[in-house]
Structure 1
Amino acid sequence: MSDHEHTSTHIDEVDRSILKILQSDGRTALSEIARRLDMGSATIHERVRSLEEQGYIREYRAILDPKLLGIDQVAFVQVETTAGRFSEVAERLAEHREVQEVHEITGDFDLLLKVRVEETDDLSEFLSKLGESDGVRKSSTNVSLRTVKEDGRLDLNGQ
């Protein structure tokens, strides 16, 4: 089954409730989820395993504070690529440690990158490498002055 064939219609309200709890705190014990949903632990364990196998849950990880770690310089870089090469360039740019996100987009540019670095010098160095990258025609950079909201959680309430 392809990713496009996998839609939220394949999960029920219990699965959706499990996903909401784990998305809020991935360390929530399965026994606690079972208690909250008034279900057996074995049932919750099986459902979570199934959600993992189906790809609804990709991974579990801690969300770190970039400001406390000193990696809080954020820039959004639009990239125009040589005709027909945007996917190849996107894959290559995704390998850079500074690049947190790569999106293929519509409009005047082909790619949108979210880049996070410690210092503006690091951003300058990255942009120099980007400008010399094979398949990159031009780029435009916007430096974030302040992050008002940054949340990777999905809104499961409206479904």
Structure 2
Amino acid sequence: MDLDEVDRKILSILQVDGRAALSEIARRLDMGTATIHERTNKLEAEGYIREYRAVLDPELLGADEVGFVRVDAAAGRSSEVAEHLVERPEIQEIHEITGDSDLLLKVRVADREGLTDLLRTIGTYEGVEDTATDVALRSVKEEHTLEVRDE
């Protein structure tokens, strides 16, 4: 599916406000609601829109300690380890990477004790050989939106 200007505008609006009513999007784009509904359904079906969700405030929820964990896995086991790590709710992101480590995790916990417990648990997983952790002192920017550009 090739995105046109209208599709890109719809994506931009929904990315900022996933609760935007289709009638409001139609009004903003000077189009009919049925047209916006049809286009949004197509964007969902094609996978451009994966889900709608609220972005929660981690500090208010008591999960404001951020760490980045590099995981070294046994040879050929990084994908298996990654699939096992998916089960941990404290792990927000898992990336298979190049370089000295195999995986890079972004974790969010309540406190250092929670981080210590998580690292201890990760270290027991079969296939994990080593971890190295960096703790964020301050989060300057955490962005969840993507730039929707012309192709």
TM-score by length of 1: 0.92
For structure 1, the residue ranges without an aligned partner over 5 or more in a row are 1-8
Give a deviation string over 1:108-152, Cα, whole Å, max 9, x none.
Answer: 000000010011111100101111110001110000110000011
* Secondary structure of residue in 2 paired with 1:102: strand
Give a deviation string over 1:39-80, Cα, whole Å, max 9, x none.
Answer: 111000000001011110011111100011111001000001
Give a deviation string over 1:9-54, Cα, whole Å, max 9, x none.
Answer: 7211110000000001011110111111111110000000010111
Report % sequence identity: 61
Post-superposition shift, 1:91? 0.6
- State the partner residue of 1:5: none
Counterparts of residues 95-106 of structure 1 (less than 5 Å): 95-106=87-98
Query: Which of the numbers 53, 57, 63 marks the counterpart of 1:61?
Result: 53
Post-superposition shift, 1:156? 1.4
- State the partner residue of 2:86: 94
- State the partner residue of 1:15: 7
Amino acid at match of 1:90: A
Give a deviation string over 1:77-118, Cα, whole Å, max 9, x none.
Answer: 000100001001001011111100000000000000001001
Paired residues, what number? 151
Partner Cα separation in structure 1 for residue 50 and residue 67 of structure 2: 26
* Secondary structure of residue in 2 paired with 1:67: coil
Partner Cα separation in structure 2 for residue 88 and residue 38 of structure 1: 49
Counterparts of residues 6-45 of structure 1 (less than 5 Å): 10-45=2-37
Counterparts of residues 103-114 of structure 1 (less than 5 Å): 103-114=95-106
Partner Cα separation in structure 1 for residue 49 and residue 28 of structure 2: 19
Amino acid at match of 1:52: E
Query: Which of the numbers 126, 136, 142 marks the counterpart of 2:134?
Result: 142
Larger RCO of the pair (alpha carbons < 8 Å, separation 6+): 2
Partner Cα separation in structure 1 for residue 25 and residue 95 of structure 2: 34
Amino acid at match of 2:12: K
Amino acid at match of 2:41: R
For structure 2, the residue ranges without an aligned partner over 5 or more in a row are none
TM-score by length of 2: 0.97
